[in-house]
Amino acid sequence: MIEVKNMDKKYGTNKVLDNVSLKIERGKVTSFIGPNGAGKSTLLSIISRLMDKDSGQVFIDGKELEDWDTKELAKKISILKQFNHINIRLTVRDLVSFGRFPYCNGKLTEEDWQQVDEAIDYMKLKDIEYKYLDQLSGGQKQRAYIAMIIAQDTDYILLDEPLNNLDMKHSVEIMKTLRRLAEEKGKTVLIVIHDINFASCYSDHIVVLCKGKVVEKGGADDILREDLLEKVYELDFCIKDINNNKICLYY
């Protein structure tokens, strides 16, 4: 379980996280939504030790973040950020094999390669596994990065806007994969997402952040309420039930 207690974070004088406390259940898909600048990405970055917090605590499986050995933690939690720009020429297979680094320190054993193959199959990358990353489309690249995360085989998977720049087909594919990861492999998936309808259809829990505070958390039914979303986004919302999913219109 991931537990966040009284977390504060400031950029200069700008408070991005204001006394945030949260518990994230294992084996579920949890989405973080909220307007730009609400502190979603910052929260994920702090949980995954990419950023330092100002005060508060993060517990991962009951142990405080600072007490974890960084290599051990890399077997527990992984993060994929929005901007993945790299300067080196890598094939998809090379990239995925990096996911095994925490286990074998770069010297991949037979078993590690098996995991790499599995991850490649899982993301349906078999036919492009020897292609270079710079030859791939945005969707394929995103899938390759997710395959690396799968090869890393961590209990917690954090993704910062995984649907950024993807079309509907690829977005749906990615979200379905994340659901499968939670259901079949028991992974705990945390995503920052902007499309509320995707969050509604594919996540078990939704956390709404606004101005650095947790406004509301719960299932899709609790969150997709016109009054709540109108307050958070300052837009007019119209929420409908379609095929047992709450879908909102705000265009």
Partner 1 sequence: MKLKGKLLFLSIILLVLAALYLIWGLNPDNLDYALPRRVIKLISILMVGSCIAFSTTVFQTITNNRILTPSVLGLDSLYAFIQTFVVFLLGSTMLANLGGDINFILSAGLMVIFSVVLFKTFFSKEKRTVFSLLLFGVILGTFLQSLTTFMQVLMDPNEFFLVQNRMFASFNNINTDILYIAVLGTMVTLIYIFRYTRELDVVSLGRDSAISLGVDYASFVKRMFIVISILVSISTALVGPISFLGLIVVNINRQFLNTYKHKYLIPGSMLISSIMLLGGQLIAERIMNLKTPISIVINFIGGTYFIYLIFKEGRLS
Q: Which residues bind partner 1 (CB under 8 A)?
A: 48-52, 70-75, 77-81, 84-90, 94-95, 98-99, 101-102, 105-107, 152
> Cβ 199 to partner 1, closest distance in Å?
23
> Cβ 36 to partner 1, closest distance in Å?
19
> Cβ 116 to partner 1, closest distance in Å?
14
HSE-CB of 127 using CA atoms within 13 angstroms: 2
When the beta carbons of 142 and 152 are compared against partner 1, the nearer one is 152
When the beta carbons of 48 and 200 are compared against partner 1, the nearer one is 48
Contact assessment for residue 5 and residue 57, using Cβ atoms and an 8 Å cutoff: yes
> Cβ 211 to partner 1, closest distance in Å?
21
Q: Which amino acid is located at 150 in the chain?
A: I
Query: How far is it, in rounded angstroms, from Cα 64 to Cα 53?
Result: 13
Query: How far is it, in rounded angstroms, from Cα 232 to Cα 14?
Result: 19
When the beta carbons of 38 and 159 are compared against partner 1, the nearer one is 159
When the beta carbons of 106 and 218 are compared against partner 1, the nearer one is 106
When the beta carbons of 76 and 217 are compared against partner 1, the nearer one is 76
> Cβ 85 to partner 1, closest distance in Å?
7
> Cβ 172 to partner 1, closest distance in Å?
25
| CA distances in angstroms from 244 to 195, 239, 240, listed in the order given | 18, 12, 9
Q: Which residue has the tokens 């977005």?
A: 171
- 115 pairs with which residues across the strands? none
Q: How many CB atoms are located within 10 Å of the residue 230 CB?
A: 13
Cβ contacts of residue 16 below 8 Å, gap of 6+?
9, 10, 37, 39, 42, 212
When the beta carbons of 134 and 221 are compared against partner 1, the nearer one is 134
